[in-house]
A and B are shown apart, each in its own frame.
Chain A
Amino acid sequence: MTHSELEHCTYQAHGDYKSSYKHVGQPYVRKDAVEKVTGQARYAFDLELPGMLHAKTLHSPHARARIVSIDTSRAKALVGVKAVITGEDSDITVGLYMQDKLAIATGETRYQGEVVAAVTATTEAIAEKAISLIEVEYEVLEPVRNLDDALEAKTLVHEDIAEIKHVEGVFFPQPDSNIASLNKSRKGDLDKGMAEADLVVENEFTLPAVAHVPLETHVSIVQADPYSNRIRIWSSAQSPFALRQLMAHSFGVKESDIEVHIPFVGGAFGGKAGIHLEPLVTLLSRASGGAPVKLRMTREQEFNYLPTRAGMRGRIKTGVKKDGTMVASDIVYDWDSGAYADYGVNVGKTAVYGGLGPYDVDNVSIVSKTIYTNKVFSTAYRGFGHLETLWTVERQMDILSQKLGIDPYEFRMKNILRPGSTTVTGERVTRSTGCPADCLSAVVKEIGWTGRKSEEERAREWKTGKVRGKGFAMIQKAPAMPPNTATAVVMQMAGDGHVKIMIGAIDYGQGALTSIAQIAAQELDLPMDMIEVIKETNTETNPYDWNTVASKYTFMGGNATIQASRRMLDQMKDIAGQALRCSPEVLTHGDGYIYNKHRPERRIAYKDMALGYAYPDGNGIGGPLIAHGICMADGLTNLDPETGQGLPALAWTFGAHAVDIEVDVESGDITVLKVASAFDLGQVINERMVYGQVMGGVMQGIGSAILEGYKFSDDNVLLNPSFTDNKIPTFKDMPVEVVPIYIENPQLNGPYGARGVAEHTMISIPSAIGNALYDALGINFYHLPLTPENVALGIASGKKDVK
Chain B
Amino acid sequence: MLSQFDYVKPLVLDQALDALSREGDTYILAGGTDLLISLRHNLIDAKHIVDIKAIPELDVFHFEEGKGLEIGANVVVNRLIDSDLIKTRYKALHDAASVLASYQLRNRATLVGNLCNASPGADLPPPLLIYDARVKIASSEGERTVDLKDFFTGVKKTQLAKNELVVSVLLPDPGQNDKSCYHRQTRLKGHDLSTVGVACRIDGQGKAAIGINAVAVTPLRLTALENELNARGLNEESILWASEEIKNHIKPISDVRSSREYRLHMAGVLFRRCMNQLMDKEA
In-complex A–B contact (CB below 8 Å): yes
Binding site for B on A (CB under 8 A): 125, 128-129, 132, 666-667, 669, 671, 706-707, 711, 719-720, 724-725, 727, 729-733, 787-789, 792-793, 796
- From B190, B261, B262, B269, A727 is in contact (CB under 8 Å) with B190
Nearest to B41 among chain A residues (CB) is: A300
Binding site for A on B (CB under 8 A): 1-2, 42, 185, 187-193, 195, 256-259, 261-262, 265-266, 269
- From A720, A730, A787, A789, B189 is in contact (CB under 8 Å) with A730
Q: Are B188 and A733 in contact (CB under 8 A)?
A: yes
Q: Are A792 and B188 in contact (CB under 8 A)?
A: no
Chain A residues closer than 8 Å to B269, beta-carbon distance: 666-667
Q: Are A732 and B189 in contact (CB under 8 A)?
A: yes
- Known interface pairs A725-B256, A727-B190, A792-B262; A128-B2 also in contact (CB < 8 Å): yes
Q: Are A730 and B256 in contact (CB under 8 A)?
A: no
CA distance A731 to B191 in the complex (A): 10
Q: Are B188 and A707 in contact (CB under 8 A)?
A: yes
Nearest to B185 among chain A residues (CB) is: A667
Q: Are A732 and B266 in contact (CB under 8 A)?
A: no
- From B42, B189, B191, B265, A792 is in contact (CB under 8 Å) with B265
Q: Are B258 and A789 in contact (CB under 8 A)?
A: yes
CA distance A733 to B189 in the complex (A): 5
CA distance A248 to B283 in the complex (A): 77
CA distance A756 to B144 in the complex (A): 69
Q: Are B262 and A789 in contact (CB under 8 A)?
A: yes
Chain B residues closer than 8 Å to A666, beta-carbon distance: 269
- From A125, A129, A711, A793, B262 is in contact (CB under 8 Å) with A793
Q: Are B190 and A731 in contact (CB under 8 A)?
A: yes
Q: Are B261 and A729 in contact (CB under 8 A)?
A: no
Nearest to B270 among chain A residues (CB) is: A667
Chain B residues closer than 8 Å to A788, beta-carbon distance: 185, 187
Q: Are B265 and A793 in contact (CB under 8 A)?
A: yes
Nearest to B186 among chain A residues (CB) is: A788
Nearest to A707 among chain B residues (CB) is: B188
Chain B residues closer than 8 Å to A724, beta-carbon distance: 193
CA distance A711 to B189 in the complex (A): 20
A73 CB → nearest B CB, Å: 19
Closest 9 CB pairs of A and B: A730-B190, A732-B189, A789-B262, A719-B256, A732-B190, A666-B269, A733-B189, A725-B256, A707-B188
- Known interface pairs A667-B185, A707-B188, A730-B188; A720-B262 also in contact (CB < 8 Å): no
Q: Are A796 and B265 in contact (CB under 8 A)?
A: yes
A179 CB → nearest B CB, Å: 30
- Known interface pairs A128-B2, A132-B2; A711-B188 also in contact (CB < 8 Å): no
What would 7 A/B residue contacts be, using CB atoms closer than 8 Å?
A: A132-B2, A729-B188, A787-B187, A788-B185, A789-B187, A793-B261, A796-B265
Q: Are A129 and B2 in contact (CB under 8 A)?
A: yes
Give 14 new A-B contacts, CB below 8 A, not counting A725-B256, A733-B188, A792-B266: A666-B269, A667-B185, A669-B189, A671-B189, A720-B256, A727-B187, A727-B188, A729-B190, A731-B190, A732-B189, A788-B185, A789-B195, A789-B258, A792-B262
CA distance A788 to B190 in the complex (A): 14
Chain B residues closer than 8 Å to A707, beta-carbon distance: 187-188
A718 CB → nearest B CB, Å: 10
Chain A residues closer than 8 Å to B257, beta-carbon distance: 725
Chain A residues closer than 8 Å to B192, beta-carbon distance: 727
CA distance A724 to B256 in the complex (A): 10
- Known interface pairs A667-B185, A667-B269, A796-B265; A789-B259 also in contact (CB < 8 Å): yes
CA distance A666 to B269 in the complex (A): 7
A724 CB → nearest B CB, Å: 7
- Known interface pairs A727-B188, A733-B188; A711-B2 also in contact (CB < 8 Å): no
Nearest to B269 among chain A residues (CB) is: A666
CA distance A666 to B276 in the complex (A): 15
Chain A residues closer than 8 Å to B2, beta-carbon distance: 128-129, 132
CA distance A789 to B262 in the complex (A): 6
Nearest to A724 among chain B residues (CB) is: B193
CA distance A787 to B266 in the complex (A): 14
Chain B residues closer than 8 Å to A793, beta-carbon distance: 259, 261-262, 265
Nearest to A132 among chain B residues (CB) is: B2
CA distance A792 to B262 in the complex (A): 8
CA distance A792 to B263 in the complex (A): 11
CA distance A400 to B257 in the complex (A): 34
CA distance A792 to B269 in the complex (A): 11
Q: Which of A125, A711, A729, A789 has the most CB of B within 10 A?
A: A789
